[in-house]
Structure 1
Amino acid sequence: MTEPAQAEQVGEPAPARRRDAARSRELLLEAAVALFADRGFERTTTREIGERAGVDPALIARYFGGKMQLYLAAVRVEQGDAAPADLLDEDRLRDLLDRFDRRGPGPSFQAAVLPGDSTEVQQAARTHLYERLVAPLRDRFAAEGVERAQLRAELAAAAFSGVILARSSGAFGELAQTESAELLPLLRDLLDGSRPAR
């Protein structure tokens, strides 16, 4: 009789299986996507994510670096790998306005544009914002031969970010109360104005 068979025969527990790190990471990410979408960043705890995933929540720090980095990873999963359309694409702009109206500016957006405590988190958020908002617009402007495409794309992304933050904070009453369908063409004109008229 082999050793493992003997151990089972005398009632000793089988050795604990080592959890697959890749699978644990995947389970945490799946749980995070669902919980962040349902409750948002602030109302979702790492403990709840771990419980839903069936994984020790301490592994969030190990695999992702922390809750914010997990949130950024969840956002990337939700948005997919495809390059987004630029801010001048009407469908893309409408989708962003609708998303911000439903959820407000998420923590990754706020971390990118507002001062924070963690430079690492802020840098990750800024990289994400750059990839999703600035780069596609820069590429469009460059393809159209617009001078200083990078600067103009950053200017448009900054204007968009300012509108979103002011709208969500209620700093400007009419801006906050205007329906996104009415705001959409005005915002597109504002962003399109960041490049010179031809």
Structure 2
Amino acid sequence: MTRDVTIALITTGEAVAQIKVPDGKTPGDAGFPFDPTKHKAFTTSAQADTARQRFDAKLGAWVDDIAKVEADLIDGIKAEAERRRMLVLSPGGSKKSVYAMKAAEIEAWNALGSTTGAILTALGLLPASTRQRKFRFALAEAARRGEANIAAAIQRFGAGADSANAEAARVEAIEQVAVAAVKAATTVAAKRTAANVNWG
């Protein structure tokens, strides 16, 4: 049988090694260059998770490090939020650029007037080069579908953007609130509770 042993510096209490030592043996027997004038050995319950824990020499135990736990929990929330956003947003650089340009076309369309009739009238007054520059995607799609004008194309762009953006915005709001709650919590247990996010 073996036991988990943490070796710490006597001067600072800093853990310098975690090793498994056979029962009845010393850290030196297990291959660690143990110097009793520099080191102290502590039998600990298990190998520590150094990404989330720190060694407390006064307790002789590994304890949760609140800053490390907070950072880990926030990273987890952000990663899950990103995964959920990507369920509704398209991956890939070119597709993102296309959606950004379509969004600009929706805004340019809405800026022309408050009703479809007024917008179509204003659109007709624009020089052909300006129409092409401002509405290249809508014009291309309307032409491909055999539509008389771009109103239906713009409506389709808007419906798709509204659906995806609403969900992305919802996930973003949940993420921001959860991260703030984790940061505000003052104990490890409270931080873990705050990180138990309801994404529904």
TM-score above 0.5: no
TM-score (normalizing by structure 2): 0.26
Is the radius of gyration larger for structure 1 or structure 2?
2
More strand by share: 2
Normalising by structure 1, report the TM-score: 0.26
More helix by share: 1
